Structure 1
């Protein structure tokens, strides 16, 4: 066994350099995700997207993330190898920024629909790159540190909230109308995720990589696939779909929702909750070592449910911070501890069960979380605005109704029209001037100018009324979306309680060990053995 370990990590492999490169892939993913959360309003105002459309764009990225993790988990160990896949991820990251930044030029000649697909494809390719990274970095770090897997995998996955913090700071300083320094065009802050991307790309090309540890373990692909016959594993997959919805789905929207309530300070709130997650993940092993992982998950579900509902109801600044703290504490341990449970109870599943687990979470966030929370905002905002001023709602509603799953189709507030109202047509005038000068005046810009000419408030009093009604409707929609989302962690709590009871009937929760004695660090039941975010 010692020979296998030494063969897995020979001296010529620079373990810390590969760990840093892996860490940088998560920072790149987090920066891109964090900045994008701050520029959704820019996209709504600039291109006229509704909340559902924005949710579908961001959700598409999570779908690509999930599919890619699952697919490349089958290839990482024995077929393509770690280095080739990370080079592929680097190429996809570069391609994603090129396609995404092409959105504005495309808008000039292809209009809103062309821009929608440009952004969707760009975000999707960005997610593909992140998915390829996730399929590699977890088994890679486990191979590099075979006796300290839990410790170093938790350090690795602190890179995700670190990226969110960096992205949140960039957003606070440079994104949105309330940017602390200046409001830069959205293309500038978004492109900054290329900095960690270039760093990890150079390191990957330069460094040598160890062979896979999975091949040395002697577990066949057939044995891994047989694990999927377990009802317990399938139940864990269902719960993890809810984790993806409530964690990543909410994170896709939280800054946008809270901007309507606390303006530019929404970015600081996002940074704050990400900081909680960043710090605590360094201590996940020792914390979970002292408590049953399912018990911890049950407590986290209570915190998550309470925090989300409270965040949707909080009115004052301190109440919002307290609610965000409770929510941040709840979401911190969901993802890694769930993966730890799968790794401990189904070690024969190897990278495949971990890849499927992470992929299901991402698919749920993309297909359900992003669009679903966007739909809830549109649904409740339009209800509120119809109550406040139905005639005004008819002016600002979208042209078409949008639906989600089996829920009824509803009109939404048109993001472009709301944006014109908020700045009294200043951005529209600037855009019209630029497009006229470049001879690229789009049909959407012409239509928006015609609408504004016909519906511009007649006086200051009317202007204030319209702004107040629209803002109140948006705030109400966001608050109600958070409150209804709290149902998801509440359901998770029930599921975790059922698992606690089940394992108590089985004599208690115990880790399944493939062979030999587990290392001291592997006694921590919250270890991460697969894709996190």
Structure 2
């Protein structure tokens, strides 16, 4: 490890994750504008947004399989190339005859880049800090909500000065070029699994462990609770509050602080205790987001952010600590499973959202006609009221997921406690 520049590699990893999170934050802020500019309905917007989430698992699973073969450095070169392609294609999407497909493929490229960053950087962090994995994964992943905060603030303030969404997307080029340069100059370690001498066949056998399968299923729920809500919050709450994007900023700002302070909390509660606490708090926060108005929405965002802040890195940390033989592919299957679940859920709920809105319009109303620029004032008011009622319904539908996680993580805590007692008795 002496020849490995640990702090520099960690900083470069954080910058790569910053680009990933900026793509989420900026897209969440411009999603509504894309719909207006290109005449896209909620189902089409849901499909475009979901593309990033299934491009991610595609890349993260393939990356998990090949990372020990080609090395983490080459994977990050691929991430750099796909980030550049995705960002540039998004900026010029309006130049194509069908902007839907330009946005679809540009978002796919960014999703592939994001997944490749995750595929390389999660095992890189555990290899750099084998003595402190869950805490350092939380420190690394604080740059995800951190980038979302920056992204939403960029959208908010750039809108105030009337800068286009193309300029907002172009901001992502700056950290992309910096992390690409840094990684090109640094020497990388081997993954923790390779360093510890665990064979490839043993790694694949470990993926059949019932505890790993259980955590994989729980990852579906933790990822949907965090990422679906965050990505769609501006659309869902725009008609409830004039500061819907700032609601996202509040929740993600809390996540940054929470992950920065993860060390003593993880030490006190252990990963499984942190996950149970997170599920309880996230459920309360999501309930408030879907059932309150005015300033109470910001209270709900604060509580929700505190709930979901530890989900992703602590799920990875638990697997790395309790199931280390699953190696890089174990970590990356977890990330891939989470993003795949979000993509499916997002496409499903985009259609449900359109249906809920249509049900609240006058009988026989055409949703696209009501959302068209030439719609009458009466039609626009009716659509605004339909949106106002439908958004919280989507949030309340999602509420069942963290509620189920509470039960699952109570079971996990009981299992680990009993397992520890058995080890002590032996």
TM normalised by structure 1 equals 0.76
Q: 1:494 to 1:51 in 2, by over 3 A?
A: same
Within-5 A mapping of 1:360-509: 360-368=337-345, 370-385=346-361, 389-390=362-363, 394=365, 397=366, 413-414=367-368, 418=371, 420=373, 452=374, 457=376, 463=377, 465-507=378-420
Q: 1:284 to 1:276 in 2, by over 3 A?
A: same
Counterpart position of 1:351:
328
Higher helix share: 2
The Cα shift of 1:417 comes to 5.1
CA contact (8 A) 1:253 1:373 kept: no
The 1-side partners of 2:340 and 2:301 are apart by 25
The 2-side partners of 1:61 and 1:510 are apart by 43
Quick check: 1:59 aligned with 2:12? no
Counterpart position of 2:184:
205
The 2-side partners of 1:477 and 1:509 are apart by 50
Q: CA RMSD in A?
A: 2.0
Counterpart position of 2:216:
237
Counterpart position of 1:425:
none
The 2-side partners of 1:103 and 1:199 are apart by 24
Counterpart position of 1:340:
317
CA contact (8 A) 2:134 2:314 kept: no
Which residue, out of 91, 96, 113, partners 2:86?
96
Q: 1:473 to 1:417 in 2, by over 3 A?
A: closer
Within-5 A mapping of 1:278-293: 278-293=256-271
Counterpart position of 2:105:
121
Q: 1:230 to 1:211 in 2, by over 3 A?
A: closer
The 2-side partners of 1:96 and 1:214 are apart by 32
Unpaired runs of 5+ residues, structure 2, are none
CA contact (8 A) 1:86 1:204 kept: yes
Quick check: 1:83 aligned with 2:73? yes
The 2-side partners of 1:373 and 1:170 are apart by 27
Q: 1:254 to 1:153 in 2, by over 3 A?
A: same
The 2-side partners of 1:216 and 1:282 are apart by 28
The 1-side partners of 2:209 and 2:129 are apart by 29
Counterpart position of 1:403:
none
CA contact (8 A) 1:376 1:477 kept: no
The 1-side partners of 2:283 and 2:232 are apart by 17
The Cα shift of 1:279 comes to 0.9
- Structure (1 or 2) with the larger CA radius of gyration: 1
The Cα shift of 1:42 comes to 1.2
Unpaired runs of 5+ residues, structure 1, are 1-8, 398-412, 421-451, 458-462, 512-533
Q: 1:10 to 1:201 in 2, by over 3 A?
A: same
The 2-side partners of 1:153 and 1:200 are apart by 18
The 2-side partners of 1:508 and 1:44 are apart by 56
The Cα shift of 1:510 comes to 8.0
The 2-side partners of 1:495 and 1:213 are apart by 29
CA contact (8 A) 1:249 1:373 kept: no
TM normalised by structure 2 equals 0.94
Runs of 4+ in 1 over 4 A off after TM superposition: 507-511
The Cα shift of 1:34 comes to 0.3
The 2-side partners of 1:202 and 1:30 are apart by 19
The Cα shift of 1:202 comes to 1.2
CA contact (8 A) 2:29 2:152 kept: yes
Quick check: 1:180 aligned with 2:160? yes
Which residue, out of 295, 301, 313, partners 1:324?
301
CA contact (8 A) 2:138 2:310 kept: no
Which residue, out of 143, 147, 161, partners 1:163?
147
Which residue, out of 86, 106, 119, partners 1:135?
119
